[in-house]
């Protein structure tokens, strides 16, 4: 397969994968929402969850995007150092997004700064957004697709604190983000907390945190404990689905961290929405693919 | 019995409704969000659709546009708080009676709902295919140059809902009331976690 053929093949597969991932929730998120529904007791919470599942069923049956805000397309990539087609990935993803805008169809959401006109195909300056990680001694390409809708982007924030503010600053910052604008972001959501040394790395880590598969934990025991404690604490606020009174505002809390500068503590918070359209797909060097990590028993 | 509002909406149709009530809408519902509000309120342009007695939906749909017709694919509410800066003025200028969106709105909108007799209601966020199933057809489209999510889509709807009354025509604000309760809980919920990490910087 030459580079041109590889680009066409990858673009075609990713176009179809985008079409799938905007219509169906990944298995882990769907199972978690089912679990959460059982724990809510109020009448209004039951009406909301019933509407959630009615909508998800109808989206599959009618083959339509489950939420109208299909967002801007983000791709978080783990690329093996020995993956052959690294050079065509970005162009293929751009093509896939433009084509999926028509075939899925996706809502046209991209607007370039200073031009202020909708580009009408969801591509634009640095869009789709692509984040690369290189995996040494590996020949696979793993792409995590995420549909970044506006509602869940609005509560996102990052700030740098002084060491004297301590870990307490982290806790307060997360609670403020969730209990303020987070109410409007379609709870229950995955809360991503990034701990770093400046706004940029804390923000990126918070994003990587909420993209992590459900059921996974921070590598450090204290980090994993903080995830559990924050989840329990946030779910005691009395906030439920859609920000109305209920028992669960969060599906899970995920923390990702880097080393910090000895003189700073930086916190980033990103939340998803309940319609957490995040799916993993993996390619080998023949561009054979597998997305069973997110969607078992489904084909495109 | 289902409470169904019909457009055009009169003050007497909504005056007895209260926050937390569940209602439905039959008639005409028109999308308008950030850009429509900006044009009407800040650029002083006249909306091609006359909202007087009407209903606005904070929503940007996915529409399949063909030469013959526009087919509605998915439509759901967007975060209403983004329109807070302009909504009070929009209500005053247009005479809109029903605002449908997602999440809370602020004090200025609540005051305008009281003064000019209007409601802000919630539709379940993200439930875009369920919402589309209550839309019979797209009657018209205005200001298309604003882009698919931002333009005015004029929709014929039948028993569109459930809609939860969030701000009533007396200025009561459900989300604002809830937010106070959550804020009261916050200190209690944070406290044990803050306590558990207080020695984390000691070595």
Alpha carbons B40 and B32: distance in angstroms, whole number: 10
Given B37, B58, B120, B134, which residue is catalytic? B37
* Residue B68 located in a structural domain: yes
Would you state the CATH architecture of domain A3-23+66-149+277-290?
Answer: 2-Layer Sandwich (3.30)
Instruction: Report the alpha-carbon distance of residue B30 to residue B58 in Å, rounded.
Output: 9
DSSP class of B10: P
- The C-alpha of B131 sits at a distance from chain A's nearest C-alpha, in angstroms, of 8
Query: pLDDT over 70 for what percent of chain A?
Result: 100
pLDDT at A181: 82
Q: Residue B17: what pLDDT?
A: 98
Q: Do B74 and A68 touch (CB under 8 A)?
A: yes
- Give ∠ CA B4-B8-B10 in degrees, rounded to 5: 80
Give the minimum alpha-carbon distance from A28 to chain B in angstroms, rounded to a whole number. Answer: 18
Please tell me the CATH code under which domain A152-271 is placed.
3.30.1330
Residues facing residue A133 across a β-bridge = A78
B161 falls within a domain: yes
**B156 is a domain residue:** yes
Predicted ipTM of the assembly: 0.93
Residues 6+ apart with CB under 8 A from A243: A182, A183, A184, A187, A249, B103, B104, B175, B178
Residue in A58, A171, A238 nearest the CB of B133: A58
> Which of A64, A239, A242 has the CB atom closest to B182's CB atom?
A239
Residue A180 has pLDDT above 90, yes or no: no
Number of domains in chain B: 1
| pLDDT tens readout for residues B100-126 | 999 999 999 999 999 999 999 999 999
Structural domain range at position B37: 3-174
Flag whether B182 is in a domain: no
Residue B171 confidence (pLDDT): 98
Domain with CATH 3.30.1330 in chain A: 3-23+66-149+277-290, 152-271
B137 within domain boundaries:
yes
Tell me whether residues B126 and A274 touch, CB distance under 8 A: yes
Residue in chain B lying closest to A174 (CA): B190
Contacts of A109 in chain B (CB under 8 A): 149
Say if the Cβ atoms of A242 and B78 lie within 8 Å. Answer: no
> Residues of A with CB below 8 A from B146's CB?
118
pLDDT at residue A130, as a whole number: 98
Bridge partners (DSSP) listed for residue B74: B62
Contacts B128 to A, Cβ<8 Å: 55, 59, 64-69
B37 carries an active-site annotation:
yes
The domain that contains B90 carries what CATH number? 3.20.130.10
Whether B193 is in a domain gets the answer no
Task: Note whether B194 contacts A186, CB cutoff 8 Å.
Answer: no
Q: Tens-of-pLDDT digits for all 203 residues of chain B? A: 889 999 999 999 999 999 999 999 999 999 999 999 999 999 999 999 999 999 999 999 999 999 999 999 999 999 999 999 999 999 999 999 999 999 999 999 999 999 999 999 999 999 999 999 999 999 999 999 999 999 999 999 999 999 999 999 999 999 999 999 999 999 999 999 999 999 999 98
Give A291→chain B minimum CA distance, Å: 24
Beta bridge partners of B4: B24
Residue B123 lies in a domain: yes
pLDDT value, residue A78: 98
Q: What is the mean pLDDT of chain A?
A: 97
Please tell me the pTM assigned to this model.
Answer: 0.94
Q: Above 90 in pLDDT, residue A225?
A: yes
pLDDT at A123: 98
CB pair distance less than 8 Å for B127 and A55: yes
Task: Let me know if residue B188 belongs to a domain.
Answer: no
């Amino acid at each position: 397969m030459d580079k041109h053929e590889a680009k066409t093949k990858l673009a075609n597969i990713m176009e179809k994968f985008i079409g799938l991932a905007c219509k169906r929730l990944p298995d882990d998120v769907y199972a978690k929402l089912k679990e959460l529904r059982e724990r809510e007791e109020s009448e209004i919470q039951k009406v909301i969850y019933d509407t959630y599942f009615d909508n998800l069923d109808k989206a599959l049956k009618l083959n339509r995007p489950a939420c109208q805000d299909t967002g801007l397309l983000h791709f978080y990539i783990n690329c093996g150092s020995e993956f052959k087609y690294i050079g065509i990935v970005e162009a293929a993803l751009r093509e896939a997004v433009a084509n999926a805008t028509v075939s899925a169809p996706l809502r046209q959401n991209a607007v370039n700064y200073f031009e202020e006109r909708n580009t009408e195909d969801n591509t634009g300056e640095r869009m789709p957004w692509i984040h690369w990680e290189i995996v040494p001694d590996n020949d696979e390409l793993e792409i995590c697709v995420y549909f970044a809708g506006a509602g869940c982007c609005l509560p996102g924030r990052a700030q740098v604190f002084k060491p004297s503010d301590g870990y307490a600053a982290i806790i307060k910052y997360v609670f403020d983000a969730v209990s303020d604008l987070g109410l409007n972001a379609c709870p229950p959501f995955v809360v991503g907390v990034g701990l770093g040394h400046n706004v940029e790395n804390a923000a990126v880590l918070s994003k990587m945190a909420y993209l992590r598969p459900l059921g996974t934990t921070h590598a450090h025991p204290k980090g994993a404990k903080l995830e559990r404690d924050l989840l329990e604490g946030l779910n005691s606020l009395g906030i439920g689905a859609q920000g109305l009174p209920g028992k669960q505002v969060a599906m899970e809390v995920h923390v990702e961290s880097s080393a910090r500068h000895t003189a700073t503590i930086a916190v980033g918070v990103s939340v998803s929405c309940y319609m957490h359209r995040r799916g993993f797909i993996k390619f080998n060097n023949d561009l054979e693919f597998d997305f069973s990590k997110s969607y078992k028993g489904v084909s495109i | 019995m289902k409470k169904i509002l019909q457009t055009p909406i009169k003050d007497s149709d909504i005056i007895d409704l209260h926050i937390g009530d569940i209602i439905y809408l039959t008639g005409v519902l028109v999308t308008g969000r950030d850009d429509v509000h900006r044009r009407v309120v800040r650029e002083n342009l006249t909306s091609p659709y006359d909202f007087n007695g009407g209903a606005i939906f904070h929503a940007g749909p996915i529409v399949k546009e063909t030469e013959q017709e526009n087919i509605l694919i998915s439509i759901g509410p967007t975060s209403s708080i983004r329109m807070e800066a302009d909504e009070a003025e929009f209500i005053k200028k247009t005479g809109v009676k029903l605002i449908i969106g997602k999440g809370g709105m602020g004090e200025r909108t609540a005051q305008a709902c009281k003064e000019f007799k209007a409601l802000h209601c919630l539709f379940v966020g993200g439930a875009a295919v369920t919402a589309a199933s209550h839309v019979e057809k797209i009657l018209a489209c205005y200001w298309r140059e604003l882009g698919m999510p931002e333009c005015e889509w004029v929709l014929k709807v039948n028993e569109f809902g459930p809609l939860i009354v969030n701000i009533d025509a007396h200025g009561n604000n459900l989300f604002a009331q809830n937010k106070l309760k959550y804020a009261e809980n916050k200190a209690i919920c944070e406290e044990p976690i803050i306590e558990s990490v207080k020695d984390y910087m000691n070595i």
